[in-house]
Chains A and B, each alone.
Chain A
Amino acid sequence: MTFIPKPKLHHPDLQKNALGYTRRDYEGPVSTLCAGCGHDSISAAIVKACFELDIEPHRVAKMSGIGCSSKTPTYFLGASHGFNSVHGRMPSVATGANLANKDLIYLGVSGDGDSASIGLGQFAHAMRRGVNMVYIVENNGVYGLTKGQFSATSDKGAKSKRGVINSDEAIDLVGLALQLGATFVARSFSGDKAQLVPLIEAALQHKGIAFIDCISPCVAFNNHEGSTKSFDYVREHNEALNSLDVISGRDEITVDYEPGTMEMVTQHDGSVLALRKLHTSYDVNDRVAALSYMQERAAAGEIVTGLLYVDPNPRDLHAHMDTVETPLNALGDDVLVPGARALERINAGLR
């Protein structure tokens, strides 16, 4: 969906969240992506998730690289600072930003070219460092802005719009994220809002690196017969592992469920993830099992979606580094500059 121009005056009955904001307050200017682009659905899901979680828009920093996906932060959270950086390098910019101010919410949006091709290195290192952020890859298997070349997540054997067959193995970002120690790993589909919105909400509340690989078909260059990232193909091969309700700490938990089909995961901030298990034997807290399950199902041609792994007590980069509680960008001269007397002592030690 492409956003229509938004009126300044809103309908008086538009629903407000606890902060008094309406959904409109979380939107941005009109999207310039193609009509029907999966990315716009993801933007809408981000808007909904932030609205529902009562997040103050200005407490979010939107980070991206280069590509169609990386353009999208312009189109949501207009009251947030955003940074459209360098191709494949969003993770390092987000890491630096996070180091400077641990109190903001970092929402990184990237694409498969941005994260799996040119930026695979930075993707990997952000995962292993545990930067406290949400990292969404809007995965369409194709370069849109340069008109339809394969990306590194294109499946082997997939056919491009021009009829070329991809002969290279695909990079599975979910598998990498699991291996590299990401503490929240999910896969979703831009066409499944009911699944995607709660996943984004859970990721936003996760205090560590939260990775979502979101398959997001490219209507212009990768939505044809023979593509493995088209709407039709993904719908046919989607195997949802679970469905998720996010219950923030203050809400009463009122989910009805059959015994053994429901799992409650309490996150560090007190929010509860109510997981409706569609595969009862799957343990969402078992990284090793997740890895082998994902590989097994991929070999069977399924695209497994849902929350794949979560560590309820993650440690992030700041915890590893043991930084002070005050954001580093708020420290003043009194704390940072040791002063003349300390310098005299240093001088004395150098004679």
Chain B
Amino acid sequence: MLQQVDRLEALQRVNDFVVKFANVNGSGSASANALFAKSVLRMGVTATPRNIFPSNIQGLPTWYEVRISEAGYMGARGGGPDLMVAMNPQTWDGDVASIEPGGYLFYDNTKPMPESKFRRDIVVVGVPLTRMTNEAYSNPRERQLFKNIVGLGALSALLDIDPAVIEQLLAEQFKNREKLITANVRALHMGRDWVKANLGDPVGLKLRKADSVGDRILIDGNAAAALGAVYGGATVCAWYPITPSSSVAEAFTSYCARMRVDKATGKKNYAIVQAEDELASIGMVIGAAWNGARSFTATSGPGISLMQEFIGLAYFAEIPAVIMDVQRSGPSTGMPTRTQQTDITACAYASHGDTKHVLLIPEDGFECFEFGALAFDLADRLQTPIFVMLDLEIGMNDRLTKPFVWDDSRKMDRGKVMTAEELQAGKKFGRYLDVDNDGITYRTYPGTHPTKGAFFTRGTSKDSMARYSEEGHDYHENMERLLKKHNTARSMVPAAIERKAKQPTRYGAIYYGSTSPAMTEADEQLNALGVSLDLLRVRGFPFGDEVAAFIEAHDKVFVIEQNRDGQMRSLLINELEINPKQLVKILHYDGTPINARFISGAIAQALQIAQPAKVTEVVS
């Protein structure tokens, strides 16, 4: 089934295209889709999958988009897919309309669509998947599941994916379950054979073995952050289910089951509580941390809202707490399954009264792991809440990332904790006494010493010996010390990373988190237009000196964010006393991940650079 192309030549690309699968949620397509992405990776070509899904369990449409880029681009590209695998009649019209001109439409033509449902500038490839699986299988469940694998087989033949690679993946996935492996391989070849027998070579998008993956690993940021928590020594996790963060706690649970069970007794070196709500989960985290266990919670925006009062307590009473915030579109329920960077100010200034918190902002799985572990050292050293700011884009999507590394000589840094021996030896203890002049004071764990070192922890004002006090000077001194401590944190959070343009430039761009890969690609697109930018990726708050220096060194700095109000820009202006005119907002907040074409287009427009007509996606 081939539709003749009108006007345009069909796209001809090798190792550089976007495939999008339009699925019905709950149809079992996820596993076949993941196999597709992995098979591309196994061919040595960078593949970046994204789940696009509604807040629903079964029946509503979902999409799975795979960006394939031997050049290594991992951000969303922007524009429509080059190949649409349209398996969902419900979204057919929109899916067909979204295909790039000259692109391809793959569909199940057991019941052929009328010509009016296609476009004249795309290539249509029909494969009778339902007919094939109905003929081969009698069990409805098998028909459904194997249809996905037959489809994968057909695609692999069309795109030149090495079948041996997929067979190997199936063997790994169903290790030691020979029956399943055989059945899946059979379905795979059913699809391949049909294409070979019935179609020529209609698709100009091809995969060739390459070497752009290296030793990188594929993992979602939530799992990476959870693994970071294991390596960071977390023993208590209290959480409440909320998209897109639930898989942090779930991954922590499964990593702990693998790596944290005492071999001799079978007992657990950890405790995980699914709390009754986010107030309880942060309360448990604070209680456990107060009592000397490393503890954390994972949540999203609405959870952060609920935790506000407790976060203020932890700030004021100076209790370590790690909060992993996987951001989604707000306000209110917003778009719970869509990504945004929208809790920056809500976390930086969380709770009533004057507060400032420490944020760590990872760009990918590698940093989710690194910051996930680091957060626990920082929480103990600074005795304050530490926020790890993920978002749905990095949290819930598998992404290639550098392999994790760990230095076995690294030990948990528990910060300033006075021991029974020190107390016994007569070392002076005042819970809020700033003996080192860095704003960070000593604490004791409950139960340390029979007669020394006990104190009362409270959310009310107190003096340096932890005695209740409403004296203005005690309150004032304490608040100033907290500010000093926040200042101490500036040198502890990961520094911003600068990437200089090849030639000197007056323009800079500040970005953070999941914007990273799209920014890298956009920068190259802008270079091609003659625009040079120095780039600064902010990785933490409070800002280090390098951030202010970067802004000062440029006439104009674009601040690229995935929210409506330019929250990071506000934070920069507020904390560094920057002239707002110097910072130009580049904002993308429709719930889809920010993409390179958007960034380069918006910056070019701001600089009034004439952009060529949309040539980047034009057919060769």
Q: How large is the interface on A (under 10, 10 to 19, 20 to 34, 35 or more residues)?
A: 35 or more
Complex contacts, B281 vs chain A, CB 8 Å:
92
Q: Can you list the 9 inter-chain pairs with the closest CB atoms, starting with the nearest?
A: A96-B287, A92-B283, A100-B293, A96-B284, A81-B446, A329-B292, A100-B291, A350-B217, A93-B287
Q: List 9 A-B contacts (CB under 8 A).
A: A83-B290, A94-B287, A96-B284, A99-B288, A100-B287, A100-B295, A122-B279, A323-B267, A351-B216
Interface string of B581-604 (1 = CB under 8 A from A): 000000000000000000000000
**B276 sits at the interface (CB 8 A):** yes
Would B271 and A323 count as touching, CB distance under 8 A? yes
Mark the stretch among A52-60, A162-170, A197-205, A224-232 that contacts chain B: A52-60
State in angstroms the CA–CA spacing of A165 and B617 once bound together: 75
Distance in angstroms from B135 CB to nearest chain A CB is 37
Contact check, A101 vs B293: say whether CB atoms are below 8 A apart.
yes
**Complex Cα distance A317/B408, Å?**
33
Which of B103-111, B232-240, B521-529, B548-556 makes up part of the contact surface?
Answer: B232-240
- Specify which of B215, B290, B460 is in contact with A351 (CB 8 Å cutoff): B215
Q: Mark B221-258, 1 if CB is under 8 A from A, else 0.
A: 00000010011010110100000000000000000000
- With both chains docked as a complex, state the minimum distance between the C-beta of A57 and any C-beta of chain B, in angstroms: 7
Question: Which residues of chain A from 291 to 349 have any CB-CB distance to chain B below 8 Å in the complex?
Answer: 318, 321-325, 328-333, 335-340, 342-344, 346-347
Knowing A328-B293, A339-B408, A351-B218 touch, does A89 contact B236 (C-beta < 8 A)? no
Q: Which B residues touch A325, using CB under 8 A?
A: 265, 267
Report the bound CA distance from A347 to B451 in whole Å. 49
**Nearest B-chain residue to A344, judged by Cβ:** B403
B454 within 8 Å of A (CB atoms) = yes
Contacts between the two chains (Cβ within 8 Å), count? 224
The residue that B447 contacts in the complex, of A82, A103, A343, with Cβ under 8 A, is: A103
| A75-129 with Cβ < 8 A to chain B | 78-86, 89, 91-101, 103-104, 121-122, 124-125, 129
A103 CB to closest chain B CB, in angstroms? 7
Residues B287 and A83 in contact, CB atoms below 8 Å apart: yes
Q: How far is the CA of A63 from the CA of B280 in the complex (A)?
A: 15
**Interface pair B280/A58, CB less than 8 Å apart:** no
Contact between chains at A329 and B412 (CB < 8 Å): no
| A74 contacts across to B, CB distance below 8 A | 456, 468
Q: Is A92 within 8 A of B262, CB to CB?
A: no
Q: Are A328 and B313 in contact (CB under 8 A)?
A: no
List B516-562 residues whose CB lies under 8 Å from chain A.
none
Answer yes or no: A61 CB below 8 A from chain B CBs: yes
- B79 near A: Cβ within 8 Å? no
Residues of the A chain whose Cβ atoms lie less than 8 Å from the Cβ of B457: 81-85
Q: A interface, by DSSP: helix, strand, loop or mixed? A: helix
**B288 to A350, Cβ gap below 8 A?**
no
Which B residues are in CB contact (< 8 Å) with A336? Answer: 230, 233, 235, 260, 269, 412
Q: Tell me the complex Cα distance, A321–B267, Å.
A: 9
| Residue of A57, A84, A121 touching B456 (CB-CB under 8 A) | A84
**Is there an interface contact between A81 and B454, defined as CB atoms closer than 8 Å?**
yes
The interface residues of chain A lying within 8 Å CB-to-CB of B407 are 340
Docked pose: A331 CA to B294 CA in angstroms: 10
Chain A residue at smallest Cβ distance from B275: A92
Bound-complex Cα distance A234 to B448 (A): 41
Q: Quick check: A93 and B292 within 8 Å, CB to CB?
A: no
> Could you say which of B219, B313, B405 contacts A85, with CB atoms under 8 Å apart?
B313
Complex Cα gap A9–B309 (Å) = 42
User: Is A56 within 8 A of B215, CB to CB?
Assistant: no
Contact call A101/B447, Cβ cutoff below 8 A: yes
Complex Cα–Cα for A324 and B458 (A): 30
Interchain CB contact under 8 A, A89 and B404: no
Residue of B nearest to A332 (CB): B412
Cβ of B273 < 8 Å from any Cβ of A?
A: yes
| A103 contact set on B, CB distance < 8 A | 447
CA distance A323 to B235 in the complex (A): 10
A346–B446 CB distance below 8 A = no
Across the interface, which residues of A come within 8 angstroms of B269, CB to CB? 323-324, 328, 331, 335-336
Question: Which residue of B is nearest A58, CB measured?
Answer: B450
Q: A61-B291, A89-B310, A324-B268 are in contact. Are A56 and B285 (CB under 8 A)?
A: no
Residues of B within 8 A of A92 (CB): 238, 275, 279-284, 287
Could you give, for residues 395-417 of chain B, a 1 whenever the CB lies within 8 Å of some chain A CB and a 0 otherwise? 00000000111111001100000
Q: Closest Cβ of chain A: how far from B426's Cβ, in Å?
A: 17
Q: Is the CB of B450 within 8 A of A343?
A: no
Q: Which of B217, B283, B408, B444 contacts A347 (CB 8 A)?
A: B217
Are A86 and B233 closer than 8 Å at their CB atoms? no
B310 touches A96 (CB 8 A): no
B194 within 8 A of A: no
Known: A81-B455, A328-B269, A350-B218. A100 touches B260 (CB 8 A): no
Given pairs A61-B447, A86-B309, 8 additional interface contacts (CB within 8 A): A63-B287, A99-B273, A99-B293, A321-B268, A324-B269, A336-B260, A338-B230, A347-B404
